[in-house]
Amino acid sequence: MDLKTLTYLVVGATFALYIGIAIWSRAATTGEFYVAGKGVHPIANGMATGADWMSAASFLSMAGLIAFLGYGGSVYLMGWTGGYVLLAMLLAPYLRKYGKFTVPEFIGDRYYSSAARVVAVVCLIFISFVYVAGQMRGVGIVFSRFMEVSIETGLVVGMGIVFIYAVLGGMKGITYTQVAQYVVLITAYIVPAVFISFQLTGNPIPPLGLGSTVAGTDQYLLERLNQIVTDLGFAAYTEGGKSTIDIFAITAALMVGTAGLPHVIVRFFTVPSVRDARSSAGWALLFIALLYLCAPAVGAMARYNLTSTVQTGPVGAAESNLVYADRPEWMQRWEQTGLLKFQDKNGDGRIQYYNDARMDPARAQQLGWQGNELTVDRDILVLANPEIARLPNWVIALVAAGGIAAALSTAAGLLLVISSAISHDLMKSTFARGITERQELLAGRIAAGVAILIAGYLGYNPPGFVAEVVAFAFGLAASSLFPAIMMGIFSVRVNREGAIAGMLSGLIFTLGYIIYFKGIFIEPLAKNVAENWLFGISPEGIGFVGMILNFVVAIAVSRATAAPPQEVQDLVAFIRSPRGAQAAMEH
């Protein structure tokens, strides 16, 4: 069976499964729509959290970034993993103990202010839409390649699937769909990794294969990779290209931003008790670790396979550069998507793939090279890896289904968060308090539908690579919601004036910095280079500075204004207490 037919069958089967689950678990009440009726088993919630967590950025783009940035790409690995631990240990149990539906609801009640709730909703919508843009781009990339349709068509199909199971099933439908999506995506990630690790090193366990020798030689894989890429003018794979302060800022922004992401936090509201919230956090960490432990190996092996395919022998020997007319089929297929491009600059009919910005011009001239001729989008590397390694078609089709599952699972979670923020926090709790439960449910479904349309547009016009877009969302979460949640739990002195001023300061500063250098919807106002960055921190890491600004402003304003009411201070002390979980649910 040819690859296209097989891919249609595998992806079609997974779509049928997702839609069937959505119909089976259709939400009938607002409680089921927002928090799945608070009856999800901890193991199922752990798998759903894993799928929610491991977005297109984790599945498609993280290994691609590691492959091209080498050691420097590890900031995404450390930041996202560390952030989950921070969320599970510091925030999730306390928020679950509070027992409300949404993050804005917690902030509105804790800071006894509808204005604080509305500001939290604005922050949440900004974060979620930036994040979902990355997911929808991932959907478009997978469809455009494996289904051989345009990115626009791929986006429309993905939007339709998300619409059906998010609007029908709400959180209940999304939860059980994400359980199925976790199984699909983790299988799709690990199976080709095992094949490729065994193929290259003889060791089927990818993390161990990364530290092993290349099969049939005494040379370690990373040593061989370093030699190949440095000969081509690239930085050594095991060396980073970022400054220490930028690495620290990006890692910190990703960590605290992770802990402030609303679509992950809300997952801990879906289990019956605080104990179950802690248990599901542990299960989720185990499920997430399976992918994150393999990612560095996947990235390194993909870079090795790609480079070895194009540069087949020693640098300098003309016959070592792949003849363009003899390029493998996977390159021809990716060229059709526009995500892999070749330009024969010296007219020799061979592919020269090297870093023309770093290679000695005299050496390049001696070799007859007139510039790098191959451009590879970082987001395609995980998808292309099985094809480069010439794995069976069923493995390639499985990877396509996994990439789609990863993008759709996170997109659905984000869209539900946006819809609940509008229908529950803005309408039911603030501007239209008299609406019935049925009207609120209808408003939530309409909001989800509108949000899907906007997400599709953003997916077609993303401001960067999937992982970079997602990094901006984490920066916005770090600078706005995380400090408000953190101080709401651990400080009795921070009041509504401080929280509102802090959230607005952090969000406006971070968003302005990102737009200034990345130019989302406008042209950048300055060149995005280290010489222009504040304190040498890139837009991906500026959320860390925004977070500090939020804390400073919130504490200073709180000190200058009246303390919170005594009942709020008592509530903060109660939330922090390790006992009384069931009683808290009645708050």
User: pLDDT tens-digit profile of 72-89?
Assistant: 778 888 887 887 778 777
Residue 62: φ, ψ to 5°: -60, -50
Residue percentage of the chain with pLDDT more than 90: 19
Residue 29 above 50 pLDDT? yes
Q: Give the angle 149-154-156 at the CA atoms, nearest 5°.
A: 130
Residue 586 pLDDT:
42
| Nearest-angstrom CA–CA distance, 470 and 459 | 12
CA contacts within 13 A on the Cβ side of 570: 5
Which SS3 state, helix, strand or coil, does residue 194 take? helix
Number of structural domains, the chain? 1
Phi, psi of 277 (to 5 degrees): -65, -45
H helices within 519-541, ranges in order?
Answer: none
pTM of the shown model? 0.79
Identify whether 515 is part of a domain. no
Encode pLDDT of 472-507 as tens digits. Answer: 777 888 888 889 988 998 899 999 999 999 999 998
Q: Tell me, yes or no, whether 115 lies in a domain.
A: yes
Poorest-confidence range of 25-39, 265-279, 375-389, 471-485?
25-39
Determine if residue 583 is left, alpha or beta; phi over 0 gives left, psi from -120 to 50 gives alpha, anything else beta.
alpha
CATH number of the domain that residue 213 is part of? 1.20.1730.10
* pLDDT recorded at residue 463: 56
Residue 575 lies in a domain: no
pLDDT of residue 496: 92
State residue 190's pLDDT score.
92
Residue 242 pLDDT:
79
For 110-148, what is each residue's pLDDT tens digit? 898 888 888 888 888 877 777 777 777 777 777 777 677
- Per-residue model confidence (pLDDT) at position 101: 63
pLDDT band per the 50, 70, 90 thresholds, residue 213: very high
The answer to the question of residue 56 being in a domain is: yes
* Residue 269 maps to a domain: yes
Q: Are 423 and 440 in contact (CB under 8 A)?
A: yes
Mean pLDDT to the nearest integer, 4-9: 84
The pLDDT of residue 387 is above 60: yes
Give mean pLDDT, residues 353-358. Answer: 86
* Model confidence at 572: pLDDT above 90: no
Distances (CA, A) of 256 to 178, 503, 533, 546: 24, 14, 21, 11
Per-residue model confidence (pLDDT) at position 161: 76
Alpha carbon distance, N-terminus to C-terminus of the chain:
58
Distance separating alpha carbons of residues 144 and 379, to the nearest angstrom = 13
Is 29 inside a domain boundary?
Answer: yes
At 208, the amino acid letter reads L
**Residue predicted with more confidence, 183 or 160:** 183
Looking at residues 526-540, what average pLDDT do you find? 88
**Residue 266 per-residue DSSP state:** G
Domain holding 239, by residue range, is 3-306+383-474
How confident is the prediction for the chain on average, in pLDDT? 83
pLDDT over 60 (residue 25): yes
CA dist., res. 433 & res. 268, Å (int): 26
Nearest by Cα to 35 from 211, 270, 378: 270
Beta carbons within 10 angstroms of residue 438's beta carbon: 10
In a domain, 137, yes or no: yes
Residue 523 in any domain: the answer is no
Separation of alpha carbons 408 and 405, rounded Å: 5
Asked whether the CA dihedral 82, 85, 90, 93 is positive or negative, the reply is: positive
483 near 498, Cβ under 8 Å?
Answer: no
Please tell me what DSSP assigns to residue 424: I
